[in-house]
Amino acid sequence: MWRPSIERRLTRSCLLAAALLAGCAAGPNGRDAEDAHTPPAAALERFEQAVSALDAGELDTATRDFAEIGRSYPEYATPLVNLGIAHGRAGRLEEAERALREAVERAPDLAVAWSELGIVLRRQGRLEDARAAYDRALAADADYANAHLNLGVLCDLYLNEPEVAAAAYERYLALAATPDPRVDAWLSEIRARLGRDERTARANP
């Protein structure tokens, strides 16, 4: 069963809001952690330029700029999350993992860093490590929708755990501000498959 990937990335609007310390995250369960680990407004112009380069697919420029921001602000983690995303989009998975592991060292409570690390680990074929990273993301923020989505994709397509995938998709759909409509179809497919399995088990005790 094939799925187009919709594992989520930080969006431009969210990144810029975070750079302004304006609440891309807020509230309990680590929601304010993203603001705490994003460079201050003094770095906004450089941060915005790096995000624009990432959006435009200028991955070498984005990689250089996020790395420089990360060095300039060693107490902040978000530049390293974006550095990991840039490396990942370029197919440099080892470099992506290094950047994201440094991000979670700087900010163990930053759910997006753990979720992005999980994506990289999944792409490396390290499925149980990816699951552990998603679990860490949800431990940091149980309401982080994208971690639920990524866990659902992992359990649906790679780990053959449809019950866990269905629960993760349900939670994603409940939490996401604008959930991807394809996830509804995937959830329906899993429910139908589980229903057929249950009927088969009853017919063949």
Q: What is the CATH number of the domain that holds 63?
A: 1.25.40.10
| Residue 4 within any structural domain of the chain | no
pLDDT digits over 3-37, tens only? 545 554 443 433 433 332 222 332 333 344 555 66
Confidence of residue 163 (pLDDT cuts 50, 70, 90): very high
| Residue 152 within any structural domain of the chain | yes
Phi, psi for 58 (deg, rounded to 5): -85, 75
Single-letter amino acid code for the residue at 193: R
* Total number of domains constituting the chain: 1
| Residue 5 within any structural domain of the chain | no
| Residue 70 within any structural domain of the chain | yes
* Phi-psi sector, 4: left (phi>0), alpha (psi -120 to 50), beta: beta
Confidence (pTM) = 0.81
| Residue 148 within any structural domain of the chain | yes
CB burial string 114-145: b at 16+ within 10 A, e below: bbbbbbbbbbeeeeeebbebbebbbebbebbb
Q: What's the pLDDT score for residue 11? A: 39
With contact defined as beta carbons under 8 Å apart, do 33 and 110 qualify?
yes
Q: What tokens does 71 get?
A: 């060095």
Q: What's the pLDDT score for residue 132? A: 98
| Residue 7 within any structural domain of the chain | no
With contact defined as beta carbons under 8 Å apart, do 118 and 150 qualify?
yes
- The domain of 34 spans 12-203
Q: What's the pLDDT score for residue 75? A: 85
Q: Report which of residues 195 and 65 the model is more confident about.
A: 65
| Residue 3 within any structural domain of the chain | no
| Residue 1 within any structural domain of the chain | no
Distance CA 154, CA 130 (A): 8
